[in-house]
Structure 1
Amino acid sequence: MGRFTFNKTAVGWFSYSNELCTSSEGSTGLPKATTQCTNDNGRPTFQRAQTFRCGTSLGDLQQMINSTNASTIAISTQILTSKPETLTAENITMAAKITTTLLLGSSLKEAINFTVVTISQLLKASRSEFSSQTSSVIESLTSALENFTLTVGSSQSETVVQPNLAMKSLKVNVSHGAAQGIQFSATPSTTQSFVSDRIYTSSVPQLTINKTTPTGVNIFIKFPQERTQEAMKVGFVLYQNDKFFQSRRFATPLGTTRNVITGSISSDTVGLRKTVPEFVELLYQPPPIRNATLYDFACVFWDYSLGDWSTEGCFKSNRLSETDLARGMVGCVCNHTTSFSMLLSFRKDVKYSKAMDIITFVGCFLSVIALSATILLELIVSKSRKSNTTMILVSIYSSLLLFNLLFIFGANKPPVVGTVMADRSGNHMLKSDLHVDRDSGPCTAVTALMHFFLLATFTWNALYAMQMLLTNLRRTQLCSLRLSQSRFTVISLIVGWGFPLVLTSFTLAVSYSVENPLNYRQQEFCWLATMDENGTFDPRRTLLWSFLLPVAVLLFFNTVELVYFSITAVRQARRTRRRSKTKTNNSCTLLKEVISSISLAVLLGLTWLIGYLLLVSHDPDVHTVLSIIFCVFNTTQGIQIFLLIPDWGRISTALRSMPTPTVSIGLHSKKYNVRAQHGKGLPEVYRKMETDFTSNFHILSPSSNLPKEKET
């Protein structure tokens, strides 16, 4: 169009030129012109382009508003707000003041379209820019717009529809029962924007529902029964979101927004003085919320004296059928006209499987059996081993066993039984768009116990690694620290069980409440809270600071220990290979060291490091593979411990030394105690040997970690 080009635009909307203001002209990046796409006898047509003077600011317009043509001010304000994502609170305040002044003026009829576009664009500004600084100015703007809809002149109807705002003004003849009420309906587009061919008004005796098309927002105003006036002026304003109506009483953790609709009527003979209707009825079908189901709603209106939503004079409609409710429709009835909305509360959807994942369930179940057997075997050989080592190992196995039992029988939380929108009787102010059930049942207790026993497992793992380190350092004379067996036992018990107890108790104390247990645990699974409302990892949740961080410290220490012992084992293997004369012995030594390192890694819980990789993995395929590996390795940790950790030679010897029924056959045997001292600094090794009449010797208590030639 002339020297400007415009892109494809919906009928009724405005389009901006591709030609932009340059830095030398001022107002960098803003379009130089705007035009509206209108319906000209069924044919979409662009109107004459309206130009913008580059370099003009909102401050300039405020100073010129009383001396410049209203259309020029309205067009300039529209273009200056055409990039709403860049608007600041100061920009919003100035634009709202300019628009309010235009609405209250007497020469706006020819510029109303541009003014409505500006308001629509302000509704796209960042929500964070709306604050107490802008609230009073915005309230003045909405009030002026509501009054403006009742100033319709000689024309019988006027409609302005923009993406985020729809305005309708009309006159209705109510004499001799010609009309009993007026209904305004808006069917949303796929993008939830408003378009002109989806806005309807009709004179009807009561609110009607279209059963075949999607239902958006509907409002019906019932005219007062005693009416002698010739006509009624009716005005509607529909806001796509509630950024102009910022509530302090209603929180939105789900990030939901709501339509706000203003309905007003006045007598044609009393000017702007509003008339009280017989009643106002609203019907609304909210757009679906991902992974959430509508639970409850409240019928509210904006109370300008309160500066917030109020339920006074509004009630829930009881005439909706079960079919309407199943479609997600909600209804309200109010006894006055103003700006209405519906506050909606959603319950997060939880997908409950009929049974746990097969790998997880089978792995944990087998681990329970394996850990039970490992504890039994450990107690059998406890007499031939230091009591501290036995205590630590049994503590590791016991805490891991109890965690697996809790996971199998208590982690899968049963579904919440209840009906959607259970409270339809009262119209109470809601506190939040996220409904959280009061805590009931054992899920929180199971979460706390699982938290405690899993922390205890990692703590005892670290204590075992510490004991091995101190023992090795004393043998190599790098550390002279010696603790008595009783003192070490007391310290281990205090740290091993005390640290998990303190951390679990502290987590419960600071994050749990009966009213909102989801601050502590998850809704769908009895475990620490980890995700936000959008299903993404939230570092503010309890899982990070009460589990991931302390376990990360313990795993780091255990990893360092594993590296240290692996290096020590490699050096020992090299010395052994230099003394060995056969390749078979070399292969066996290497295999033993590899198995020993793997066993230690399993016992120290280092397979849980895979879980930390899941937190930083963003590739879906990599995340899936890591999830499978993590699941397999950690659910079968008990089986790995049973196969790799127990000293089967010591166990076999202990089993043979257990008392058994004897049959005298005339054989004779003698027992000897043999003591050997091997090098300075090495402990004395005691062996109990038994010989029978055939003079065969059987080692019942073999020494460990001695070179082969010294053993012989």
Structure 2
Amino acid sequence: MISQILFHFSPELTCLNDTIYGNGQVDEKVVVYCKPDEVGEKTAICNKNGTFSDRVDNCVLKEIDNLFSLSQNFLDTAGVLTSNAAKASWGVLNTNLTKNDSSGLLGTVETISNFLTDDFVDIATPSIFLNKTTVNNSVNNLFNLNSSVLIDIPASEASFSSITIITFESLDNVLPARNSSSPNNRVNTINGKVVLVKVNGTIKNVTFRFDVLNKTLANPQCVFWNFNLFGGLGGWDGEGCELQSDKNGTVTCHCNHLTSFSILMSPFIPAVLRVALDFITYIGVGISMGCLVVCLIIEMLVWNAVTGNNTSYMRHVSIVNIAFSLLIADIWFIIGAAISDNENKDLPACSTATFFIHFFYLALFFWMLVSGLLLLYRTVMVFSHMSKPAMLAISFSLGYGAPLIIAVITIAVTAPGKQYIRGNDGVCWLNWTESMALLAFVIPALTIVVINLLILIVVLFKMLRRGVGDVTQPDEKNAVVVIARCLAILTPFFGTTWGLGVGTMTTPNNLGIHIVFAIFNSLQGLFILVFGTLLDKKVCSCHTY
């Protein structure tokens, strides 16, 4: 009788012997405790067919749960690590291309955000803002930090129940601006807040609107942080994102996935000023080439009359090769500019143009060095007589041999890694941002400028002490004076010109440097004609005759 009563009142169990949830009645919500080292619970609903559905696992390791309870402190700590005070330290760390410390910090924050279990979390610190909320329909302006970041997800994509958004005020202090094309990019700048977005589902259509931080920058790129770039080093990648608009200080991006996003921008030169710079450059180079052609024609016409002694002969050999080197360099500059302006840029042709521009500009400076050494030789070693063939052999070996060696080594070292030419703006010239190949021109050129200035100081000192006639042979006095005057003017002029050229690379947003460099660069041929040929008394006397 008792057994019959017990049987009558026993519940009817439909779901039986589930490995996790055990037994359950129809429509019953079964709650199961987590493992001993976890907190939370697991729930499921028993169906009529004897199976459990709507399984939810909220179990979290106790250590992680303790971390959640300290999330405010964690975000405060992360904020300190991304502050302006830590920027210099991160800069040093990011120069090491074998460690991904900056990428690791972002990855840690992203990993922790995966374990947020509450339906609603809202934590604000001075540097990091975290918001997790539930959604049902269209999502617009889910996270609004002083209106600097807006996220728009259409209703058709809102098939998820929660969204987590973390906005970093100063993560640009931590993450380098390297993009998928270069691990050493020094041109681009992170110019918007970095925002991390995650949902418990998938999204293929999302729009971001960023307020730019520095309105003097342009050329926006919509990017996300790709942890896998450069062998796990990490970098900004534009795959799956495209620029929709850039106006009124707001950049709008459209992406087909979610992760950590921002915008990269580079220095801006207004279109009107860019046209003016191009005009000055091309007109100036044309005038320079014309002056160089005139210089070579004059030298050819007066050659026999002005090369009566070895010093005069070598002076005119030097000035002819200086003019010839600059003329050929300018021709290759025009060719390189034409290649750069072509939409389908021919990279081998661009590399070829860069090689010859590099070689002949170096030859210009090394022939200036030949002139300087000739001046030193004729004023210090007055009674020494080197044969003309020996002087020519030394001059041509130094004037063309040394530049050839430097140019060949430069392309051999940097070309295999595709870091020989500039890749960020399509210009056919030596790379600066990745391989610093430009130093293969800058260092020799500026070194020669310094050497020639020292030579001028020594020669001037000797002339002031003893007079020009006492430090040279009488028939060589005019040649020595012309060489000294030529070096005294052309050396600082060329040095200033290419010092400004380096400035356009290191501070590309300085418009003044661009303008002055374009003007100085266009006057090089004119200065060679005037101070190398026309102001030579013997040349003028031949012309008068």
TM-score calculated relative to the size of structure 2: 0.61
| Contact map agreement 1:293 1:347 (CA 8 A) in 2 | yes
CA displacement, residues 605-649 of structure 1 (integer Å, 9 cap, x when unaligned): 34223347657999x999799758845753522331332136236
Identify the residue that residue 30 of structure 2 maps to in structure 1.
Answer: none
Question: How far 1:145 sits from its partner (Å)?
Answer: 4.2
Following the alignment from structure 2 to structure 1, what is the Cα–Cα distance between the partners of residues 236 and 151? 27
More helix by share: 2
Contact 2:288–2:522 (CA under 8 A) maintained in structure 1: no
Alignment partners' CA distance in 2, 1:558 and 1:123: 48
Cα 1:517–1:493 shift into 2, 3 Å:
closer
Alpha-carbon distance change, 160 to 541 in structure 1, aligned in 2, over 3 angstroms = same
**Aligned counterpart, 2:410:** 507
User: Which amino acid in structure 1 is aligned with residue 387 of structure 2?
Assistant: S
Counterpart residue number, 2:494: 608
| Counterpart secondary structure, 1:542 | coil
Residue 159 of structure 1, aligned match among 97, 122, 133: 122
Q: How far did 1:499 drift?
A: 1.0
Give the drift of 1:413: 6.6
Taking the aligned partners of 2:106 and 2:256, their CA distance within structure 1 comes to: 26
Deviation of 1:284 after TM superposition, in Å, equals: 1.9
**Among candidates 356, 363, 366, match of residue 449 of structure 1:** 356
Amino acid at match of 1:639: L
**Corresponding pairs, count:** 443
Confirm whether residue 262 of structure 1 aligns to residue 198 of structure 2: yes
Unaligned runs of 5+ in 1: 1-96, 173-178, 208-219, 224-231, 265-276, 419-437, 534-539, 577-589, 657-712
1:403 aligns to 2:329 (yes or no): yes
Query: Over aligned residue pairs, what C-alpha RMSD do you find?
Result: 5.6
Contact 1:184 1:236 in 2 (8 A): no
Give the conservation status (yes or no) of the 8 Å contact 1:528–1:542: yes
* Structure 1 residues 651 and 573: alpha-carbon distance in aligned structure 2, compared to 1, 3 A threshold: same
Q: Which runs of 5+ in 2 are unaligned?
A: 1-60, 471-476
Alpha-carbon distance between aligned partners in 2 of 1:558 and 1:206, rounded to the nearest angstrom: 72
Q: Which has the larger radius of gyration?
A: 1
1:563 is matched with which residue: 457, 470, 480?
457
Residue in structure 1 matching 2:252, options 322, 329, 340: 329
Deviation at 1:404, TM superposition (A): 3.6
| In structure 1, distance between residues paired with 2:481 and 2:235 | 69
Q: Displacement of 1:222 after TM fit?
A: 0.5
Aligned partners of 2:172 and 2:63: how far apart in 1? 17
Give the CA deviation at 1:99.
9.1
**TM alignment of 1:19-418, pairs within 5 A:** 100-103=64-67, 108=69, 117=76, 124=83, 128=90, 142-148=110-116, 150-152=117-119, 159-163=122-126, 164-170=128-134, 179=136, 185-189=142-146, 192=148, 206=155, 221-223=158-160, 234=162, 236-240=164-168, 253=185, 254=188, 256=190, 258-264=194-200, 277=201, 281-288=205-212, 291-294=217-220, 316=240, 328-333=251-256, 340-342=259-261, 353-354=274-275, 356=277, 360-384=281-305, 385=307, 386=309, 388-389=313-314, 390-407=316-333, 410-411=336-337, 414-415=340-341, 417=343
Match of 1:636 among 517, 523, 526: 526
Q: How does 1:571-610 map to 2 (within 5 A)?
A: 597-602=484-489, 605-610=491-496
Residues 287 and 526 in structure 2, CA contact (< 8 A), matched pair in contact too: yes
Q: CA deviation at 1:441?
A: 7.2
> Who is 1:688 aligned against?
none
**3-state DSSP of counterpart to 2:131:** strand
CA contact (8 A) 1:371 1:638 kept: yes
- State the one-letter code of the partner of 1:329: T
1:566 positional shift: 3.7
2:34 corresponding residue in structure 1: none
Describe the superposition over 1:161-194 as per-residue Cα deviations: whole angstroms up to 9, x where unpaired. 4452222344x7xxxxxx567667223426x5x8
Q: TM-score, normalised by structure 1?
A: 0.49
- Describe the shift of the 1:439–1:516 C-alpha distance in structure 2 as closer, same or farther (beyond 3 A): farther
Aligned to 2:534, the other structure's residue is in SS state helix
Match of 2:369 in 1: 462
CA contact (8 A) 2:367 2:399 kept: yes
Which structure is richer in relative contact order (CA contacts within 8 A, separation 6 or more)? 2
Instruction: Report the AA paired with residue 206 of structure 1.
Output: A
The question of 1:528 aligning with 2:402 is answered no
Q: Which moved more, 1:592-601 or 1:550-559?
A: 592-601
Matches of 1:181 and 1:552 in 2, distance apart?
62
User: Structure 1 pair 447/514, CA: closer, same or farther in 2 (3 Å)?
Assistant: same
Match of 2:10 in 1: none
The answer as to whether partners of 1:380 and 1:651 remain within 8 angstroms in 2 is no
Check conservation: 2:102, 2:174, Cα contact below 8 A.
Answer: no
Contact 2:280 2:522 in 1 (8 A): yes
Q: Deviations over 1:88-126 (max 9, x none)?
A: xxxxxxxxx99945345xxx4xx8766655555555465
Q: Which amino acid aligns with 2:364?
A: T
